[in-house]
Amino acid sequence: MEMFQVRYVLAAAKMLNFTKAATDCNVSQPALTKAVKTLEDELGAPLFHREGKRVLLSEFGRSILPHLQQIMQEAHATRTLADNFRLLNQVPIRLGVMSTIGHVKLARFLAKFQRDYHGVELEVSEASVQELKNRLEQGDLDLAVLNPLEGLGTAFRVHDLYSERYVVVFAPDHRLASLNAIKLVDLSQEPYVDRLSCEMRDLVMGVCRERNVSLYARFRSEREDWIQSMVLARIGFAFMPEYSVTSPELLQRPLIEPAVARTVSLASVPGRPYSPATAAMVRAAQTFDWPG
């Protein structure tokens, strides 16, 4: 049994006319008739009763028709899956990630995505929020993972992924290590390692001024790895998003009074069509167990 034979039989069953069925299938009427007859011989029973130019389904034809329809549907579904797989692998996903976002949760998501969509290429680059927005608008990025801060307006489509608290990180022998949580006032006059690339930096510094909390910055850097290394070297403490802390040797305690948190979101440009691979990543991000 060949797929073209199944297609011809289904067309003839719909039209009840071999000439019209042949036209619908874009073949000659003799070719269609021969293909149907060959299939009938293979199955061992007539599918149609011929009455001149008019044909009727036989009892056998009526009984087997649903099975032939299912075969055709499965064939279409298989072809669609194959086409989608081919398209998924044509163009890499260009994903921008805000430089202050830690890899803890994002790596878990990307690993699952790669397992579910094996072979999809992914190109990841880091940048500030403003640069990510510019590159999205210019079409240099397909998606961006960032903190939308006060919002990105209508220029971007935003889907929130997860929230994370800000924590205080310090070396294991720091004087605050015995506390379960740390108030901002507890940190006044403490040596401080300043994360220059933090998008929340101005907000935190503003709260410090409002509460007369004085921080002494002994080291400043835009690099997250340098920040954690300097904290571990006992240069001072640092404020960090909880999922950005990668050094297992550092202690971290939640910041309270006030508590500070941020939302990490997936951003794209509305109205711009996704590639199949990008659409697959958006769907995966929306259904992923981020809190887990």
Q: What is the pLDDT of residue 204?
A: 86
Q: What are the backbone dihedrals phi and psi of residue 81, each rounded to the nearest 5 degrees, phi first? A: -60, -40
Q: Where residue 84 falls among pLDDT bands split at 50, 70, 90?
A: low
Angle between helices 29-43 and 18-25 (to 10 degrees): 100
92-162+263-287 placed in CATH 3.30.830.10: no
| Domain extent listing, the chain | 3-87, 92-162+263-287, 164-262
Which is it for the CA torsion 113, 118, 120, 123, positive or negative?
Answer: positive
CA–CA separation, 288 vs 290, rounded Å? 6
Instruction: Note whether 92-162+263-287 and 164-262 share their fold.
Output: yes
Q: Where residue 22 falls among pLDDT bands split at 50, 70, 90?
A: very high
CA–CA separation, 114 vs 95, rounded Å? 14
Q: Where residue 200 falls among pLDDT bands split at 50, 70, 90?
A: confident
Q: What are the backbone dihedrals phi and psi of residue 138, each rounded to the nearest 5 degrees, phi first? A: -80, -5
For the segment(s) 164-262, the CATH number from 3.40.50.10330, 3.40.720.10, 3.40.190.10, 3.40.50.700 is 3.40.190.10
pLDDT digits (tens, 9 = 90+) for 146-176: 998 766 777 899 999 999 999 999 999 999 9
Neighbours of 236 (CB within 10 A): 22
Q: What is the pLDDT of residue 150?
A: 66
pLDDT digits (tens, 9 = 90+) for 103-133: 889 999 999 998 888 878 899 999 988 899 9
User: Of all residues in the chain, what percent carry a pLDDT higher than 70?
Assistant: 96
pTM for the model stands at 0.67
Look at 26-35, 49-58, 63-72, 166-175 and tell me which has the smallest mean pLDDT: 49-58
Residues 3-87, CATH architecture: Orthogonal Bundle (1.10)
Q: What is the pLDDT of residue 163?
A: 93
Look at 37-51, 84-98, 212-226 and tell me which has the smallest mean pLDDT: 84-98
Q: What is the pLDDT of residue 199?
A: 85
CA–CA separation, 177 vs 169, rounded Å? 10
Instruction: Give the per-residue SS3 of the chain.
Output: CCHHHHHHHHHHHHHCCHHHHHHHHCCCHHHHHHHHHHHHHHHCCCCEEEECCEEEECHHHHHHHHHHHHHHHHHHHHHHHHHHHHHHCCCCEEEEEECCCCHHHHHHHHHHHHHHCCCCCEEEEEECHHHHHHHHHCCCCCEEEECCCCCCHHHCEEEEEEEEEEEEEECCCCCCCCCCCEEHHHHCCCEEEEECCCCCHHHHHHHHHHCCCCCEEEEEECCHHHHHHHHHCCCCEEEEEHHHCCCCCCEEEEEECCCCEEEEEEEECCCCCCCHHHHHHHHHHHHCCCCC
The mean predicted confidence, pLDDT, of the chain is: 90
Q: What is the pLDDT of residue 87?
A: 60
